[in-house]
Amino acid sequence: MVFSFLDHREFLRSWYEWKKTASRGFSYRSFARKAGFSSMSFLRDVIEGRRNISEDSVEKFVAAIGLVEDASDYFRELVRYNREQESDKRSQLFRKLLLLQARREFSPVRQAQAKYYSDWVNIIVREAAGLDRFGGDPERIGAALRPAVPVAQVKESLGLLVELGMLEKTKDGRFKATTPRLVPGDVDPAVVRGAKRQMLLHALDRLDSEGNEDTHISSVTVTVSLHRLAKIAEQIRQFRLDLLADTASDDGPQEQVAQINFQLIPFLRAMDDA
């Protein structure tokens, strides 16, 4: 519900009206008690623009409303966005809101769809199939892949993707992805690791060959604390989600398919094991 709003006061007004209808006895007073506000009219004052939500009180709103995960993050950023006056910072906050909205477009791959991860071709073909340059033609798709893939294998992959509900075939013979972005769901982690391994092998092939100026592979080796190591892992996770969301909302012409790998590899054994 919160993701459709760009004004936190409008969201709170709509939420309050819904909550009052759904829960007998709910009121501004009961909300204040639940949130821990001394002012019984705090929510009404915020909705009507007489008071603002501070950084401290925003957490009370999140808890009292019951917002979790991306919904709670969206509400926090929404409050900051509405409060910010400087145009550049507002633009940055607006972009964060768009990314959080786009995350809702992600679809988890279920165990029943695990065959998707059985071959790297399925992963790439799903992304390439809907590009205008191919017009749904398996032969053109296979010839464009690096490395090239036989047309029979591309046809098999397309058929599997349609069967799994990841692609749909349009009346004009083209293909369309059923969701902008896929993320692993309850698929066996070993199956997902197998697909990652295939992609890493492609990265090694590119590293060992010449004439791949559009391929970018870089790395850095650092010494860090265990606390910083955990923070880096979380930064990679967040960047991956933001990248998925950002590309899902890309309104430019779709022309290329790219695999982007992230590796965080600790090289020392734990001190207890040394």
Q: Assign residue 28 the CATH number of its domain.
A: 1.10.260
Peptide bond preceding 147 in cis form (omega within 30 of 0): yes
pLDDT digits (tens, 9 = 90+) for 242-273: 888 888 777 788 889 999 999 999 988 877 66
Judgement on whether residues 155 and 178 belong to the same structural domain of the protein: yes
**E strand or H helix at 106:** strand 106-109
Q: Are residues 200 and 113 in the same domain?
A: yes
End of a domain among 104, 126, 148? 104
Q: Is residue 144 part of a domain?
A: yes
Residue 130 belongs to some domain of the structure: yes
| Structural domain contains residue 212 | no
pLDDT for 116:
96
Structure tokens at 161: 């993707």
Predicted confidence (pLDDT) at residue 96 exceeds the cutoff of 90:
no
Note whether residue 168 is domain-resident.
yes
> In this structure, are 42 and 11 located in the same domain?
yes
* Bridge-based pairing state of the strands 181-184 and 106-109: parallel
Quick check: is 172 in a domain?
yes
Q: Phi and psi (nearest 5°) for 213?
A: -65, -25
Residues 127 and 165 in one domain: yes
Beta bridge partners of 177: 167
What domain range is 57 assigned to? Answer: 2-104
- Tell whether 237 and 184 lie within a shared domain: no
Q: Residue 140 belongs to a domain with what CATH number?
A: 1.10.10
Domain edge (last residue) among 58, 79, 104: 104
**Is 39 within 8 Å of 32 (Cβ atoms)?**
yes
What are the tens digits of pLDDT across the range 24-83? 888 999 999 998 988 888 999 999 999 999 888 999 999 999 999 889 999 999 999 999
For residue 120, the model assigns a pLDDT of 95
Residue 213 domain-assigned (yes or no): no
d(CA 229, CA 264): 9
Same domain (yes/no): 201, 120: yes
Query: 198 falls in which pLDDT band (50, 70, 90)?
Result: very high
Query: Of the residues 104, 124, 142, which one is the last residue of a structural domain?
Result: 104
Domain count, the chain: 3
Element (H, E) at 56: helix 55-65
Q: H/E element holding 176?
A: strand 175-177
Return the pLDDT at 274. Answer: 54
Q: Which residue has the tokens 């919160």?
A: 2
Q: How many Cβ atoms sit within 10 Å of the Cβ of residue 187? A: 19
232 assigned to some structural domain:
yes
User: Phi, psi (5° rounding) for residue 34?
Assistant: -65, -40
Residues 186 and 124 placed together within one structural domain of the fold: yes
Helix intervals (H) in 135-225? 138-144, 151-163, 189-208
User: How far apart, in whole angstroms, are the C-alpha atoms of residue 237 and residue 245?
Assistant: 12
CA-wise closest residue to 142 among 162, 160, 132, 156: 156
Tokens of 247: 């590309």
